[in-house]
Amino acid sequence: MAGGAAKFFLLLSTLLSTWGSPRAADVVHAVRGHVAHLECRLEDTQDGGNVTALWTRSVDRSQVVSTSRIKAHGATLWFLPSAVSDSGTYSCNASSGSGVPSETKVLLSVTDRTCPHPSEVWTIQAGSTLGLPCRLDHVLETDGDSQVSWFKDCKPIDHSRIVNVTISDAGNYSCVVEFTHEGEEFTASWTISLNIQNEPLIRSPVVLYPRDAKMYIKPDVPVQIECTVLPGGDPENEIYWIVNQSFIAKYPELHQNLSIERREDGQLYAVSTLTITAARPEFFQVPFACVAFNPAGRDVGHLQLIPADPSATDNACSNLSGRE
């Protein structure tokens, strides 16, 4: 496997049925050098004003210790600012003494991009009027004098309201907030992807490919499996992974990340990347399933990891022609 994680692309065909899913891990997108904010989900019976929370990092199950840069405040975890090395899955066990303790898993994805990956995807009708949201309330409440700037596809714009939306208004919109916290200046950012529908919106079933495949890799190497979903612009798409009939929360070595991509054909694709930090024996020759659905349909893709011949070359190991 030549110098990196193996990648395998799933894009499966359509099945017209619906099926419920568990709530997937929350995903927080951030840019290196910008503030990231993770938050526990509390049960309705808990008192949010007096919460005890323990944050751990799933990669090694170690407790997150507050530092000058990473600070835990009750049910929240702040990265002031975030670094690419902070990327990963974090777990929060929270209780208030007046309710059942709850566990939250949050996937933090920090990139070197100028603007963060979209956290939401909206499809709206051409001709509509739209006020762009900025989901950074936790930052805006921290500093009443914070400054908000808007960008479209990472280029500055001077408005956050679009009147009589047209196809040319499609793109990624980012709000960037400059604020002060405990006497220091910080930046936070958040992105929404806007898709414009000329005709009345007709929901399409999800489509993935291929249906069944095998992937030959060496034991103990990192692996990335990418499940690509079309249409990616449907805000009601749900994507999650099942490994050997268990949800990935069971395995600390597995991490899911979701991104939205606009490709050369002009369409939006949702890409769910399952990262395996090390391909241990229990992951070989067991079913991996990527499940994607929306109200119009459901689809499932299947994959098996197969141990590569120890005598095989790195080149052969990473050759995607090994798929069946």
Residue 104, token pair as written in the block:
């939250």
Instruction: Give me the pLDDT at residue 151, please.
Output: 95
Dihedrals φ, ψ of 290, to 5°? Answer: -100, 120
Query: Mean per-residue pLDDT for 18-24?
Result: 29
Q: pLDDT class for 3, splitting at 50, 70, 90?
A: very low
Neighbours of 2 (CB within 10 A): 10
Domains of the chain, first to last: 6-16+205-322 (2.60.40.10), 26-111 (2.60.40.10), 120-197 (2.60.40.10)
Element (H, E) at 137: helix 137-140
Question: Distance between CA 163 and CA 161 in Å, rounded?
Answer: 7
Instruction: Give me the pLDDT at residue 173, please.
Output: 95
Q: pLDDT class for 44, splitting at 50, 70, 90?
A: very low
| 319 has a pLDDT exceeding 50 | no
Closest CA to 244 of 298, 289, 209, 294: 289
Q: pLDDT class for 18, splitting at 50, 70, 90?
A: very low
Please indicate whether residue 46 or residue 254 has the higher confidence score (pLDDT). Answer: 254
Instruction: Give me the pLDDT at residue 174, please.
Output: 95
Residue 207, token pair as written in the block:
């489509």
Question: Distance between CA 222 and CA 240 in Å, rounded?
Answer: 20
Neighbours of 96 (CB within 10 A): 21
212 strand-pairing partners: 302
Q: Please answer whether residues 241 and 254 qualify as being in contact, where contact means their C-beta atoms are separated by less than 8 angstroms.
A: yes
Q: What is the dihedral of CA 130, 131, 136, 139, to 10 degrees?
A: 170
Instruction: Give me the pLDDT at residue 322, please.
Output: 35
Query: Mean per-residue pLDDT for 111-120?
Result: 89
Segment 152-202, tens digit of pLDDT: 999 999 988 998 888 899 999 999 999 998 889 999 999 999 988 775 444
Please indicate whether residue 262 or residue 47 has the higher confidence score (pLDDT). Answer: 262
Which bin fits 315, alpha (ψ -120 to 50), beta or left (φ > 0)?
alpha
Question: 3-state DSSP call for residue 85?
Answer: helix
